[in-house]
Structure formats: structure tokens, C-alpha cells
A and B are shown apart, each in its own frame.
Chain A
Amino acid sequence: MAEMTIEQLTRLLRDCAGEEEGVDLEGDVLDVPFTDLGYDSLAVLQAAGCVERDYGITLPDETVAEATTPRLLLTYVNERLSTPAAN
């Protein structure tokens, strides 16, 4: 499967967990902590669940907990996508 892009991730965040007022998800948010984007740990868990569902992969809870920025989450997701055997 193709890699997940930041555009796909922000769209999914918006759909699954909503969008904080005053935050521009279209901007350069790759390294902005999720908490600064208005997403608490439960929102990230919710988004990770949506990724698992939509991309057919499994993301361990501890991995999700370590993914404090969009770049880190994308890195974990894309590692999983490139190694189907790991799922």
C-alpha cells in the first residue's frame, strides 16, 4: 500500500477527532506536538484507531503513546504499511 501522507493524516484527524478552533492543520504541522494542535491523548488514540481501520494495520498502544507529533505517527504508520508481514 502507498505511504500515508500528512494531507491524509490531517484529513483523518479532522474526520475522527474534529479540529481545534484557531489551529491551521493546512500549515506546517509535521513536527507540532498533537497537544499543541488541540489533540489530547484520547484524540490521538481515536485517530490511530481510524488509521488501523482504514489502512488495515495494527498499531500497538505503546507505539501510539510515543507518537507525539504527526511526523512520528506517520513514521510508525508507514513502517507498518511497508512491512505487511509484521501485521
Chain B
Amino acid sequence: MTTATREAPASAGRPATARAVFTGIGVTAPNGLGTEAWWAATLAGRPGIRPVTRFDASGYPATLAGEVPGFEPKDHIPSRLLPQTDHMTRLALTAADEALADAGVDTAALPDFAGGVVTAASAGGFEFGQRELQALWSKGGQYVSAYQSFAWFYAVNTGQISIRNGLRGPSGVLVSEQAGGLDALAQARRQLRRGSALMVTGGVDGAICPWGWTALLSGGRISTATDPARAYLPFSADARGHVPGEGGAILILEDAGSARDRDARVYGELAAYAATFDPAPGHDGEPGLGRAAELALAEAGIAPAGVDVVFADAAGVPELDRQEADALRRLFGPRGVPVTAPKTMTGRLSAGGASLDVAAALLAVRDAVIPPTVHVAEPAAEYALDLVTDARPGPVRTALVLARGQGGFNAAAVITGDARPRTHH
């Protein structure tokens, strides 16, 4: 059996139709630093998977990664924050700056507790932590940074974004591996329903250092291929694992009423979300991804035929690809919906990946185009998928974003571009 969570109706004090809309996007991705650079590369099918440069990976079984290009920390991060931040926190702060600027939000003008931060994380600042642990065992405690006390921590991006922008409202961190990039948005939506006006949310992650690499390798899903064009091939007959990457997206999620009051530009709505858990290992039952998708569509009041594109989890592991393809076929019919996985250009970004997919969904709505899946010439015939392998123009009103986190986490989010009233269940 699977367990499922549904969103409860709004709590007291707010209308039951409280809507959460996206008003800002910030991106740091392996195929582009900054939203527009990344989106242009994504539509053009330009990947960012290359041999690892952040450390010497030549002695490891896997040697490819998606690294954010051209990121010079001192160009983005104030001096006081440099000694206390891991690389991935610097990326997160940079994405948050872009997202807030994009939303046109002056955080200083917000009421004191009206804005909060909820991000997703998988491991916190691994690279920072490795350096300090090495200092501890090789030189002694005097050589360990006082900032190790939080720089390694799961909640560090939330904390640093909160402090830097004076966002003192309800905040938190979600740790559910790759599903976190959607789970964080759902938690942010809960806070809006409880009365917050604005949430900085999403995920930016990364652990491209020996310690992080070893942890990733132990998960057993990392591709050991050395050809960047052949390493991460979800839904292909040649699927052999995934390439890890760093980066992700920070998004501004606002109460629709607050956004309207300040005349904000709205990219789209977080129309629905659901999460499920897989059966425990050794227990019978269906994997929970399809059920999460069904629950999310039910909450949105949208029939499968109303979905214009699915951003797939795209594990790149044959058994997991089959599970996802089965779920999509059951819900939409054979080749029943366009499916894409732009993460084939970035690698899987841990807690950042699904947030980046949501950013892609919002821009797909804006620009009326579905971004492509690269490197997969054709999906395996048995999956019966309509896999989008070249940017496909056409209106996108509703996108379904799927994410799975290792350990049994499943999440599904429905992103819509229109603001028509919907039936609530």
C-alpha cells in the first residue's frame, strides 16, 4: 500500500480558495547561470554535463557532472558571507537574489513577519564540511571554522536567504532527496494559507566534492559512462543511471491576493500538489508515483486530457524508468501526453532538480514551447512515451511535474498558466 497526503483546506482566517502564484524565478544551472541564460540553453538543447572540474574525480568510477558555469563567488556574494558559505549556498543566495529582483519585491517594505523561506536540501554544505573535517583530523580543532556550526547544515540555505533578505516569517527545510524540490513548494503554499504573504522557496543543491561524490556513488544510481552524450539516458534502452549536478531554482510564491494587490507579474499558479510514499522494501504494492500524479490532478480538478506536458522524474535507471512510464501510460494512455526531461542537460540536481523543472514549466507556459529532452534519440518502444526530443512549440496551459526521491518519496505538482476559477475538492 501507499500512504498519501492531501492538502487540507485553508486554515481559519483565510478564504478556502487561497491561491499560490509564482511571481519570481532565479536559476543557477549547469547549462546556464541566470534564468534567461539557462532557458535559452534549455530551449536550444545545449547541455551542461562535462568532466568534473571541482575536484580530481579521475580516481572515481563516475567522472561526469553538471557544474554551474562561470560562477565567480565574489561577484555575487558579499565579503562577510564568503567565509561562512558552502558553494551550493552561494548558488542558492545568488538564485534568491535573482528571484526577488525578478518578482520586483522590496523585502524591506514587507510587514515584519509576512515573508518566509522554505527550501529543499539533501545534505547541506558537503564541500565546506569536508574541508573542516579534514582540518579537524589533520591539524586539530583550532583549525576548524566556527562557521562549520551551520554551514554544513540542511537548513543553511533557508537561514542564509532569510537573514540576507530580512525574511523573518515562517521558514523551514524539506529533506526528501529529489522530491524535495516539489515538497518545499507545497510547504511554502501551506505557509501562504496560514497567512504569509510571500515565500521564497525551491531548491539549490550540490555536493561535487570527494565526500559528496562518495555518498552519491553509494546510492548506486550514478552513471559510470565517460561520454557526456551517453551517460544519462532516461527512458532509453541504454539507460544506465544518471549524472549528478549542482544548482536548481529559487522561486517566489505569493498569495494570489497579495500578488494582485501589488500588481505583480504572475508566471503561473501552483494549482495542486500531492505526495506519496512507496511501499516499504520487501512489501508488495504499487510504487506511489502514479498515485501522486492522480491525487494532484484530482486536487486541480483537471482531467488527464487537460495536461499539456509532463516534466518527468526521469531516473535513468531501467526499473525506475519503467515504473514511471507505466504510471504515465495508465493515466494518459499510450503516447497520450508529451513528456520531457530537460534535466538530461543538467544532470539530476538532488533537491534542486524538481524546482528547476517547475521553473521550466512556468517558462514553457510563458513562451508556449515545451523544452526538449536531449541525448535520447528515441525512448524504448515498450514505454510508449511521446518523448519531446526537440523544442516543441504550442500553447502550454497545464504542466504536471513529477519527482521521486531515493528512499520512497514521490511528489507531483500541477502548474497552470491561467487564473480561471477551478473546482475545489
Contact = CB atoms under 8 A, between A and B. Distances in A.
A30 interface: no
Interface residues of B, number: 14
B163 to A, nearest CB: 10
Interface string B296-335: 0000000000000000000000000000000000000000
B145 A46 contact: yes
B142 A49 contact: yes
B334 to A, nearest CB: 57
A52 interface: yes
Nearest to B147: A46
Contact of A17 (B83, B142, B143, B149): B83
B interface, over-half SS: helix
A74 interface: no
A42 B83 contact: no
A21 B146 contact: no
A53 B144 CA distance: 10
Contacts of B81: 18
B61 interface: no
A46 B142 contact: no
Given A49-B146, A52-B142, A21 B83 contact: no
A52 B142 CA distance: 7
Contacts of A42: 146-147, 149
Interface residues of A, number: 15
Interface string B131-170: 0000000000011111101000000000000000000000
Contact of B82 (A18, A45, A52): A18
Interface in A5-51: 14, 16-21, 38, 42-43, 45-46, 49
A18 B30 CA distance: 28
Nearest to A16: B83
A63 B7 CA distance: 51
B128 to A, nearest CB: 13
Interface of B: 78-84, 142-147, 149
Interface of A: 14, 16-21, 38, 42-43, 45-46, 49, 52-53
